[in-house]
Structure 1
Amino acid sequence: MLSHRLENGVLVLTVEDAPGLREQNLAALISDLVHVHDPTPAVVVLGTVVPDEVIEAVVEAYRRCRRSDVLISVATPSAPARRTLQAQAAAQGGGLVVHARVDTAVRTADATAA
């Protein structure tokens, strides 16, 4: 499941456990919400255990949104997920900002967009 809210001028998208949610569906949901709120910066929040399918979906959503120049970041306490996200984004040209904490990600996105 994907929930969203606006916090300090930042679109915060929280990915929660969603058995059966396919990678392409999640990527489409994320990218659609980012496009609808364009030019608002977005932070995708992931949990402590991040399945490979979710990482792939986030990277795919980031790829879909790159043309719009919207700042997209990810926040997850999972160090392995952060490393994987950074590596996969770097393979596509980089630019995805990955944080360990949600509050840091939101503050940084807000400050960068200002």
Structure 2
Amino acid sequence: MLSHRLDHGVLVLTVQEDPGIGGRAELAAEIVAFVQAHRPAPVLVVIEEPAATPATASALLRAHRQCGTWGVLMSAATHSAPVRRLLEASAADSGGARLVVHPRVDIAISAAYGAAA
């Protein structure tokens, strides 16, 4: 469900499939564990097309809230415009650190790398 790699000092987590309603907490916990293990590295969560669902967005937002106190830059990338809008609207309402959402992975990695430098 979740793979990881380091790219130019950015932890890139890729969600490959929909966790479903019942898997949201597990996915959020996996994201948080990776962020905690690699902090203070910036984090990019890539949501692939099969995973571009409200359940994945919910898990990512939960992880983002949990990681907010660590001061870790977290961003997301997905081709799905509906999921991008959902993430942007929900993250704006959270009142915490802003979740930056990109349509392209390469630009997201460059932005995260540049912001952390």
State the TM-score bracket (shorter-chain normalisation): over 0.9
Aligned Cα root-mean-square deviation (Å): 1.4
Q: Aligned residue for 2:5?
A: 5
Q: Distance in 2 between matches of 1:78 and 1:51?
A: 9
Q: Aligned residue for 1:100?
A: 103
1:112 matches 2:115: yes
1:34-71 deviations in Å (ceiling 9; x for gaps): 01100000000002351111010000000000000000
Q: TM-score of the superposition, structure 2-length normalised? A: 0.92
> What is the aligned-residue identity percentage?
48
1:41 matches 2:42: yes
Paired residue total: 114
Q: Which runs of 4+ in 1 moved over 2 A?
A: 18-21
Point out where structure 1 has 5 or more consecutive residues left out of the alignment: none
Supply the AA of the counterpart residue of 1:46: I
Q: TM-score of the superposition, structure 1-length normalised? A: 0.95
The 1:56–1:16 alpha-carbon spacing in structure 2 relative to 1, beyond 3 Å, is: same
- Structure number with the higher helix fraction is 2
Point out where structure 2 has 5 or more consecutive residues left out of the alignment: none
Q: Distance in 2 between matches of 1:19 and 1:69?
A: 26
Preserved contact between residue 43 and residue 112 of structure 2 (Cα < 8 Å) = yes
SS at match of 1:39: coil
SS at match of 2:49: coil
Q: Distance in 2 between matches of 1:56 and 1:19?
A: 10
Deviation at 1:27, TM superposition (A): 0.3
